[in-house]
Amino acid sequence: MPPSPVGPVTSTTVPLVYDSDTRGVGGPVDMTGPVIGSLSYRQSNTGDLELAITLDFAQANITYEIVLTCGPSHALSCGFVSVGQLTTNAAGSGAVTITVPTAVLLSGPFGPGYRTDHLDMINPATGLVTGGLTAGAVNYLVCRRAIAAAEDEAQAQRPQAFTGEGDPLDTLATTTGQDPLLGR
């Protein structure tokens, strides 16, 4: 047996399973089922989460909506966000690479700190009729420094607000007889 690698793990691959369908192939919605593909993920130097999804034995000619789901399992989920789509070919194979920006990972239902979430894939047109796919244990870190950097960037992109007393248009206003409040 080779020795365990020393140092940070730069990417991880987890099985993608056929979690459930109405035909009984996947069984109950419990994050187990036949392995039909894989999810490889890594976190970039900027904090973005890079996902590479490969399906080998999914349903043919289906467009799956890919959602990053907060929480390590269905039972512990706390929300989700759509991150892309994957369309399979006539043999049920397909692949896609998606980058989830740090800004998405910072916003609800996710947030700062060490995260363990999972990926779900479903056909929005048919729901679980054509099967729900799941890959669990997507582990990543949302750094507080990234939050500060994102807030600084957002602040820099905000338009400068007027400050002062009274009406900001006061210096541009002219007094005319058309002002309904004039003289009241």
pLDDT digits (tens, 9 = 90+) for 20-72: 755 555 556 677 778 999 999 999 988 899 999 999 988 899 999 999 988 88
Range in 74-78, 86-90, 97-101, 128-132 with the lowest mean pLDDT: 128-132
List the one residue out of 4, 86, 80, 70 whose CA is nearest residue 38: 86
- Domain 12-148 architecture: Sandwich (2.60)
As a whole number of angstroms, the distance between CA 74 and CA 147 comes to 27
Cα–Cα distance measured from residue 168 to residue 174, given in angstroms and rounded to the nearest whole number: 13
What is the C-alpha end-to-end distance of the chain, expressed in Å? 91
> How far apart are the C-alpha atoms of 37 and 30, rounded to whole Å?
17
Q: Domain map of the chain by residue range?
A: 12-148
Q: Does residue 28 have a cis peptide bond before it, meaning omega lies within 30 degrees of 0? A: no
Which residues make beta-bridge pairs with 124?
none
**Residue 154 pLDDT:** 53
Which whole number is the average pLDDT over 14-19?
85
Q: Which residue has the tokens 């365990």?
A: 4
The answer to whether 63 touches 133, Cβ cutoff 8 Å, is no
Query: From CA 123, how far away is CA 93, in angstroms rounded?
Result: 15
Cβ atoms 47, 114 nearer than 8 A: no
pTM to 2 decimal places: 0.71
83 pLDDT higher than 70: yes
